[in-house]
Structure 1
Amino acid sequence: MTTVEKIKAIEDEMAKTQKNKATSFHLGQLKAKLAKLRRELLTDSKKSGGGGGIGFDVARSGVASIGFVGFPSIGKSTLLNKLTGVASEVAAYEFTTLTSVPGIIKYKGAKIQMIDLPGIIEGAKDGKGRGKQVIAVARTCNMIFIVLDVNKPLHHKQVIEHELEGFGIRINKQPPDILLKKKERGGINITTTVPLTHLDNDEIRAVMGEYRLNSADISFRCDATVDDLIDKLEEQNRKYIPAIYVLNKIDSISTQELDLLYRIPDAVPISSGNEWNLDELLEMMWDKLKLVRVYTLPKGKLPDFEDPVVLRSDRCTVEDFCNQIHKSLVAEFKNAIVYGSSAKHQPQYVGLSHVLQDEDVVTILKK
């Protein structure tokens, strides 16, 4: 049997198995086996060039990258055109875009790369329609725009999430708060700081056994599910990526239907063709990317508010700021003068470890 056939067989067995206390151990084993097979599929894809190939590898530029994912002919190419001015081919038939098409948008002083990916279909995670290559590129992005048709958003949303999940992408989630420490001996020691309502000890031991972990300390600091436990054990193969559900073609629905769409979390209704509501989409994009703009203030000059240094929120110390400008600055660094919300008083003299916040103004003093 091929890996895909093995995955299908396990999924069929799980669908036929009723969940109760008597079957929890068996279901835990099946889910762990399924995760390992999916990892094998991902590894095989990388070895065979599934993450790239002609037209799929994209040279990265800008401070962040956003991949457009969706079914064929959903309006991804039109959206890229409207936001970046890049002429990705547009037509009213499926699979117009056959390669990755990049473009750049400058928003609030930050250059952000947007990548129009070929449309995916159900079964993409198993290789249908070059789906592995498409999702592999999406895994490398800082954010995903999941572009959906407003006339059938929930069904398409469910299918695409399932495809991305099968490739190790976790949408709008944080890694599970589980601590794991492997031991040489002593068996499995389970502790919890909150009650576990979705997971019992049999499932935990079944999953751990499938991963050949017979001795370990595991501490649950969240009400975890069996999928959370597997994600912890597979953490090297998991990507946690923020996403926005871009509900396209609102020009084809009524105002009442539009009101219902706003109830979908992390969603923005738009019309790419008519350029409706793109400002709201970009504002949500900015909030989710959590970028930090830092303005330079050369000694004796005015601040440069036109061209900020843009940092990722997980890399925004004064040292990161210096490295972004030029690596020699750290060696010559004496201290920095900071104005803005990160300063306790205006101005504040700080060192390299000081954490900067959005729209701080900084002067670097050299030795």
Structure 2
Amino acid sequence: ELEKARILLSKPRGRVDIDRRYAGTALRILVVGKLLDCTIKDIENLLRSYKITDAIVKVTGQVTLDDIEDSIFESTVYKPALVVANKFDHSIARRNLKYLESYVAGKLPIIAVSCEQRQGLEKLGELLFETMSIIRIYTKEPGNREPSPKPFTLKRGSTLQDLAKSIHGEFVKDFAFARVWARRLPFSPQKVGLNFVLEDEDVVEIHTK
């Protein structure tokens, strides 16, 4: 049912960008990767069947003709997912887990847990954040020794400016500098600006003008 709704659980192996142009441009297909089940001629015929005769098509990674067709409608989305195998404390759980791993064939991450025994739940939380590309950022007020116990959640790759916006819009306008505590830094705290890229479990102290 998800596939019919053009929702993918497995991350696509490639990407197709179709830039429709004015009449007279003709079709230009740039392949930076590999066509798995088609040729450039097949792509041209497919596009013309949808009355697309003037466009620049860029293919990266590994794609199929179905991927090309999906890109025409621009409605296919990728939703990160994982498989949670519960009741891992049962006697036949390990055997069933092997069957499940064989069936999934590496397309999705699998984690075995036991809700009753509280087994694997901590790793489940970590895997959820990793799968969804979410990072946790802890903040502290100037003068306080300990950060807030509740973190802000942001998408991986977010900057200090994204954090400031999520706290309050005025923080960006009145921003002076920030201090960041992180194990990866050569020294902590480190004085940084709005373009600093945050990572999971960073501790941030924002100073305003």
For 2:73, give the aligned amino acid: E
1:317 maps to 159
CA contact (8 A) 1:181 1:217 kept: yes
Amino acid at match of 1:340: A
1:10-25 equivalent positions in 2, closer than 5 A: none
For residues 341 and 178 of structure 1, do their structure 2 counterparts lie closer, same or farther at Cα, with a shift above 3 Å needed? farther
The one-letter code matched in structure 2 to 1:200 is T
For residues 362 and 276 of structure 1, what CA distance do their matches in structure 2 show?
A: 32
Share of identical aligned residues, percent? 28
| CA deviation after TM superposition for structure 1 residue 217, in Å | 1.6
Amino acid of the structure 1 residue aligned with 2:195: S
1:220 aligns to what SS in structure 2? strand
Contact 1:342 1:357 in 2 (8 A): no
> By how many angstroms is 1:175 displaced?
7.5
Give the aligned partner of residue 38 of structure 2.
199
One-letter amino acid of the structure 2 residue matched with residue 283 of structure 1: E
Tell me which of 59, 64, 78 is aligned to 1:225. Answer: 64
> Once the 2 structures are TM-superposed, how far is the Cα of residue 211 of structure 1 from its aligned partner?
2.8
The answer as to 2:17 corresponding to 1:179 is: yes
CA separation in 2, counterparts of 1:276 and 1:257? Answer: 17
Q: For 1:348 and 1:280, locate their aligned partners in 2 and report how far apart those are by CA, in whole Å.
A: 30
Alignment of 1:135-146 (within 5 A): none
Count of matched residue positions in the alignment of Structure 1 and Structure 2: 203
Q: Secondary structure at the match of 2:63?
A: coil
Q: 2:96 aligns with which of 232, 253, 257?
A: 257
Task: Pick from 113, 125, 129 the counterpart of residue 286 of structure 1.
Answer: 129
Letter in 2 for 1:329: F
Q: Which residue of 2 aligns with 1:267?
A: 110
Give the aligned CA root-mean-square deviation in angstroms. Answer: 2.7
Q: How has the CA–CA distance of structure 1 residues 342 and 351 changed in structure 2, closer, same or farther, with 3 Å as cutoff?
A: farther
Q: CA deviation at 1:219?
A: 2.2
Q: Are the structure 2 counterparts of residues 364 and 278 from structure 1 closer, same or farther at C-alpha, using a change threshold of 3 Å? A: closer
Q: Distance in 2 between matches of 1:261 and 1:364?
A: 47
Structure 1 unmatched runs, 5+: 1-162
Q: 2:48 aligned to 199, 209, 226, which one?
A: 209
Match of 1:74 in 2: none
Structure 1 residue aligned with 2:80, among 242, 245, 248? Answer: 242
Which of 195, 198, 202 is the aligned partner of 1:353?
195
Match of 1:190 in 2: 29
Match of 1:307 in 2: 150
TM-score normalized by the length of structure 2: 0.81
Quick one: structure 1 residues 223 and 312, their matched pair in 2 at CA, closer, same or farther if it must change by over 3 Å?
A: closer
Q: Distance in 1 between matches of 2:98 and 2:34?
A: 37
Q: Normalized against structure 1, the TM-score is what? A: 0.49
Equivalent position of 1:327 in the other structure:
169
SS of residue matched to 2:204: strand
In the alignment, the residues of structure 1 paired with residue 93 and residue 188 of structure 2 have an alpha-carbon distance, to the nearest angstrom, of 51
Retained in 2: the 8 A contact 1:198–1:223? no
Q: 1:277, 1:360 → 2: CA distance?
A: 24
Letter in 2 for 1:178: V
* Alignment match of 2:180 (pick from 338, 341, 358): 338
One-letter identity of the residue aligned with 2:156: S
Instruction: Tell me which of the two structures has the higher relative contact order, counting C-alpha pairs closer than 8 angstroms and 6 or more residues apart.
Output: 2
Alpha-carbon distance between aligned partners in 1 of 2:73 and 2:91, rounded to the nearest angstrom = 42
Contact residue 261 and residue 269 of structure 1 kept, 8 A: no
Q: Which residues of structure 2 form unaligned runs of 5+?
A: none
